[in-house]
Amino acid sequence: MSTDAPPPSKGGPPDSPAAPSTEAFREVQESAEFGELRRSHRSFAFPLTITFIIWYLLYVLFSNYAGGFMGTKLFGNINVALVFGILQFVSTFLIAWFYSRHAAAKLDPKAEAIKSRMEAEA
């Protein structure tokens, strides 16, 4: 058995910030700054999510109940159903891109400010 091993550490790495207390988390959760962060997220995410779900259900309903419409050929062997299906993928990637931009511009700076303040106070 070797005696050269360092003693076990009591926590994270030496440079890691101290963990805020439960009370600090509760104070931040009740703060106006955190409320604004939550509103910014919800005002973007909820309407976009509802819109996407409606768009997806419309595609499913049309596929099930409007076979004639979905089978309408637009050009060559490309029909409405294929175009709608491709647009499902396109809309998914657009939503992810829009959310990424929104988070980087509006959410991340507010969250970083809250995190920095909590770490400084701990």
Residue range 10-56, pLDDT digits in tens: 555 556 666 777 888 888 888 899 899 999 999 999 999 999 999 99
Structure tokens at 53: 């779900």
User: Which of 115-120's residues contact partners 24+ apart within 8 Å by CB, and which partners?
Assistant: 118/20, 118/24, 118/25, 118/28, 119/17, 119/18, 119/20
In eight-state DSSP terms, residue 13 is -
| pTM of full prediction above 0.85 | no
Confidence of residue 119 (pLDDT cuts 50, 70, 90): confident
